[in-house]
Amino acid sequence: MNVQELKHPGLKQWVEEAVALMSPDSVEVCDGSKAEYDRMIQITIDAGLATPLNPEKLPGSVLFRSDPSDVARVENRTYIASKNQEDAGPTNNWIDPAELKKTMTELYHGSMKGRTMYVIPFSMGPVGSEIAKIGVQITDSPYVVANMHIMTRVGTKVLEVLGTQGAYVPCFHSVGKPLGPGEKDNGTWPCAPLDKKYISHFPETREIWSYGSGYGGNALLGKKCLALRIATVLARDEGWLAEHMLILKITNPEGVVKYITGAFPSACGKTNLAMLIPTVPGWKVETVGDDIAWMKFGKDGRLYAINPEAGFFGVAPGTNNESNRNAMESCKKNSIFTNCGLTEDGDVWWELIGHGAPGKEIVDWKGNKRPAPKTDKSPKGEEIAHPNARFTAPAKQCPCIAKEWEDPAGVPISAFLFGGRRPKTIPLVNQAKSWIHGVFMGSIVGSEVTAAVISDQVGQVRRDPFAMLPFCGYHMGDYFKHWITLGQSHDESKLPKIFFVNWFRKNDEGGFIWPGYGENSRVLAWIFERCSGKGKAVETPIGFLPTLDAIAPPQGVSEAAMQEILNVDIPGWKAELADVRQNHYPKFGDKLPKELYVELNAIEKQLNA
């Protein structure tokens, strides 16, 4: 479709203005068809950016290698440009919106020369559903178009729902690498240098402007930018929740179904938990979503969640048939791999895939030939796949996708989980005593920083409240308040119960105490029971912990080890709370809801008793 055919006058004008600014050689409005997807992939193959994979192993799939400066989200180049700096809060980067638009307009000037501008109408959530939101992304990257086809619902049907007057979130994206006359990408991933990358959000006008990066959450603007940063602002204003949460369906041996969501920081195993194969006999887990949940109250007072996405953008390293067979199956065909290794037989490979690589040589994520590894481990810093290498796979290919995953009404949520990577102190599982206690726990989530973000803090514990630190589009103190207010204005007995989990406890030798993965079903089963008014627990100052006989230890985990991970580490908790008091909460100043200090004081008092 061409721009002249657009029936929405506002959209047409916006596209025309973008064309005038960015000067692409041509413009195309995406229709979302399979033919279009195939054409995008072919363009990237012809440009030397994509390698087709062995059709017998991974039919319809390709591998990309990005630029070493463009391998993850860039949090220090991500901005919340609200009118007042105060509204962005202390955890977001802020630039005055007028100033930022001026800087970025200069960058966008002519930025698409030599390229095609693609206009992608997309829906977050099932097309036409009441809960869905429409975005339109302009991009000069066919890689982005192909990924958006998988991750969102794209095309003409979205334009039909938009009609002539419908609301949409306008999203600009340019890789920031115009081409001179006759110039081609020739195998070089197009992007701009780090100090020219901007991932900008304008919460008042609900706009997204991204420049200079072609990777993941920086460039697929439906995901972190719209479904989280902009959606948190909409959710605050409209009384719902937009969260960095997986959604799973769990069925007990009696056939009773519950739905659970879980917030964990990036690369902490949301995808694995969402697709878990239980080791506890008779239990079943199915997937509704693996990264984002939008939740609204139903007429019955319960919270209903939808997954606004249509695909998985999963971390490849560490994914294998043991840790996540369902993810491995999901990306067996029609998938896009980025920054994985390429084997001699045209297959992808990554660290901890479960086996070495066949043949003599392998191509690493930087495009260098290396000896094929005999095992699936590489020394740190010498990985064959980048630690944030990803697969983009359609959700409908997941063998354990729940039949309700596209239900526009959403699924009723019984429990929220919060957690992170914490080697010490935080127990395996712990239930909040009340909604407000749960909000307190969410507000103090800490986790070791992973490779999902370009940061010099990788490996260090940082506070990541609600796993939303990089994704909240407004002041985090107001976000805490929003959670508290939702609790106060609804019947608490109908609200999800809140739990804190930690799969990552380490022993003194640095080894993991808990095996995780499928064995996490033991914890899910206890959570399920707690939501049914059962499940044995003991009340402690930090919440309800399972009694020692409530969760049967997996093979290889001794009773002493269980005791250790289900214990209240009093000195550890005192230190934890002292850190919250001294370093974490003061950041939010007056905006830190006083209710959270009341919780902090009460828990400290009990720990000191």
Catalytic residue numbers?
268
Site for ligand OXD in 560-599 (CB under 6 A): none
Decide whether 324 or 343 has the Cβ nearer to Mn ion. Answer: 324
Site string for ligand OXD, 262-281 (x = CB under 6 A): ----x---------------
Q: Is 464 in the site for Mn ion (CB under 5 A)?
A: no
Q: Is 473 in the site for ligand OXD (CB under 6 A)?
A: no
Site string for Mn ion, 248-267 (x = CB under 5 A): ------------------x-
Beta bridge partners of 297: 303
Decide whether 114 or 216 has the Cβ nearer to Mn ion. Answer: 216
d(CA 464, CA 452): 14
d(CA 234, CA 243): 12
Residue 275 contacts by C-beta under 8 Å, 6 or more apart in sequence?
Answer: 285, 287, 290, 324, 326, 327, 330, 398, 400
With CB under 5 A, what is the number of residues at the site for Mn ion? Answer: 2
Decide whether 123 or 338 has the Cβ nearer to ligand OXD. Answer: 338
Site string for ligand OXD, 436-455 (x = CB under 6 A): ----------------x---
With CB under 6 A, what is the number of residues at the site for ligand OXD? Answer: 7
The residue sitting closest to ligand OXD, measured at its beta carbon, is 266
Q: For residue 136, count other CB atoms closer than 10 A to its CB.
A: 24
Site string for Mn ion, 210-249 (x = CB under 5 A): ----------------------------------------
Decide whether 232 or 266 has the Cβ nearer to Mn ion. Answer: 266
Cα dihedral 124, 126, 131, 137 in deg (nearest 10): 20
Q: Is 291 in the site for Mn ion (CB under 5 A)?
A: yes
Work out how close the CB of 103 gets to ligand OXD at its nearest, in angstroms, rounded to a whole number.
25
**DSSP secondary structure code for residue 553 in this structure:** P
Q: How many CA atoms lie within 13 A of 8 on its CB side?
A: 19
Taking CB under 6 A as the criterion, the residue among 75, 87, 140, 291 binding ligand OXD is 291
Q: Is 73 in the site for ligand OXD (CB under 6 A)?
A: yes
d(CA 251, CA 236): 32
Burial letters 147-179, b for 16+ CB under 10 A, else e: bbbbbbbbbeebbebbeeeeebbbbbbbbbbbe
Work out how close the CB of 73 gets to ligand OXD at its nearest, in angstroms, rounded to a whole number.
5
Question: 336-338 and 62-64: which strand pairing?
Answer: parallel
Q: Is 67 in the site for ligand OXD (CB under 6 A)?
A: no
d(CA 398, CA 602): 45
Q: Is 217 in the site for ligand OXD (CB under 6 A)?
A: yes
Give me the count of residues in the chain: 609
**Helix orientation angle between 594-608 and 435-443, rounded to the nearest 10 degrees:** 90
User: Can you give the binding site for Mn ion, defined by CB under 5 A?
Assistant: 266, 291
Give me the residues that bind ligand OXD (CB under 6 A), please: 73, 216-217, 266, 291, 313, 452
